[in-house]
Amino acid sequence: PKSDAMLSRWAAPEFSTDWGLRDVSAREPIYDPISYHQGSVWPLFTGWTSLAEYRAGRTLSGYAHLMQNAGLTFTQDPGAATELLSGDYFQPLGRSTSHQMWSSAMILTPALRGLFGLGWNAAQHTLSVNPHLPASWEHARLHNVPLGAARVDLEMSREGGKLIIRGRASGEALCLAAHAEPANGPCSAELTLPLPAVELELPHALPDPGSSTSQLKAVGEQWSANQLMLTLEAPGGSSHDLFLRRNAGNVHVTGAELLPNRIRVRFPQGSGYQTQVVKFTW
């Protein structure tokens, strides 16, 4: 589908820097890395893309873009996210508003609706929860999630090959559901979800000020019944480790070295970014 092709381009270094998403492809003739609308990096667009990636099942790139926005809270004014940055180098532009509310909103929105997969039905007092926790996370807690007039606390923890979600709400009984539709039958404040056969996590860190893009990119993530195929891009000749959690037995991998709790991916020699396909079967 056209959406898959566009999502892959957004995840690749054509659009994706190590600090967010350019608003114009670096391949376009009009591209200008310091232009307000023709090549700079906007955390607003980075957050929109992160949410779209989560909803499309591209959780690795979704998390990478979310954490790029979160990392910006340490870049200028502590706790605030800036308005825009250069498309070529990790540097906020001089005319950028250092505390831009739409940038800050694009940390919370993809975190709540993407990473934790929350959806609201206040009329039915139902909270849908479909989390995509990073592979290294054992548990997570959310406090004071609004649901109508109530406030909800959620706790998520791994137990074997399942994710257990427990909720507590002020006021009337809470319904937790895996989907946005109201649950049929009695409400339950506990939800059990199966975990995927394998879970991975890309390393993430904001680059040094003034750096250009060089980090690993997950440009494709395709799941089927007994297979996961990842398309990764990184500078030629580089090697990268990804944290790995195996929830299924008898996992095999091609295109990478399988280590006890991670995989090591080596990229072909060459100038610029190179591609490596990694396939898991179980």
Strand blocks (E) in the chain: 118-121, 126-129, 139-147, 150-159, 162-169, 175-177, 190-194, 198-201, 217-224, 227-235, 239-246, 252-254, 257-259, 262-266, 273-281
Residue with tokens 């000020």: 209
Handedness of CA 119, 122, 127, 133 (dihedral sign): positive
Span 57-67, pLDDT tens digits: 999 999 999 99
Q: Are 88 and 33 in contact (CB under 8 A)?
A: yes
As a whole number of angstroms, the distance between CA 223 and CA 230 comes to 9
pLDDT (tens, 9 = 90+) of the chain, 282 residues, equals 789 999 999 999 999 999 999 999 999 999 999 999 999 999 999 999 999 999 999 999 999 999 999 999 998 889 999 999 999 999 999 989 999 999 999 999 999 999 999 999 999 999 999 999 999 999 999 999 999 999 999 999 999 899 999 999 998 789 999 976 655 667 799 999 999 999 999 999 999 999 999 999 999 999 999 999 999 999 999 999 999 999 998 999 999 999 999 999 999 999 999 999 999 999
C-alpha to C-alpha distances, 98 to 62, 89, 95, 107, 154, nearest whole angstrom? 24, 17, 9, 15, 32
Of 193, 188, 128, the residue nearest 158 (C-alpha):
193
Give the per-residue pLDDT at 180. Answer: 62
As a whole number of angstroms, the distance between CA 233 and CA 70 comes to 23
Q: Where are the domains of the chain?
A: 117-195
As a whole number of angstroms, the distance between CA 237 and CA 12 comes to 17
As a whole number of angstroms, the distance between CA 83 and CA 208 comes to 19
Domain spanning 117-195: which CATH class is it, in words? mainly beta
C-alpha to C-alpha distances, 18 to 14, 45, 61, 184, nearest whole angstrom? 12, 14, 11, 44
DSSP secondary structure, 135-194, as one string? TT-SEEEEEEEEETTEEEEEEEEEETTEEEEEEEESSSPPEEESSSSPPSSS--SEEEEE
Give the per-residue pLDDT at 81. Answer: 96
243 DSSP β-pair partners: 201, 262
As a whole number of angstroms, the distance between CA 37 and CA 12 comes to 20
First to last CA, the chain: 27
142 DSSP β-pair partners: 154
pTM of the predicted model over 0.85: yes
Give the per-residue pLDDT at 2. Answer: 81
Question: Under the phi-then-psi rule, with left for phi > 0, alpha for psi from -120 to 50, and beta for the rest, what region is 250?
Answer: left
9, amino acid identity: R
DSSP letter at 73? G
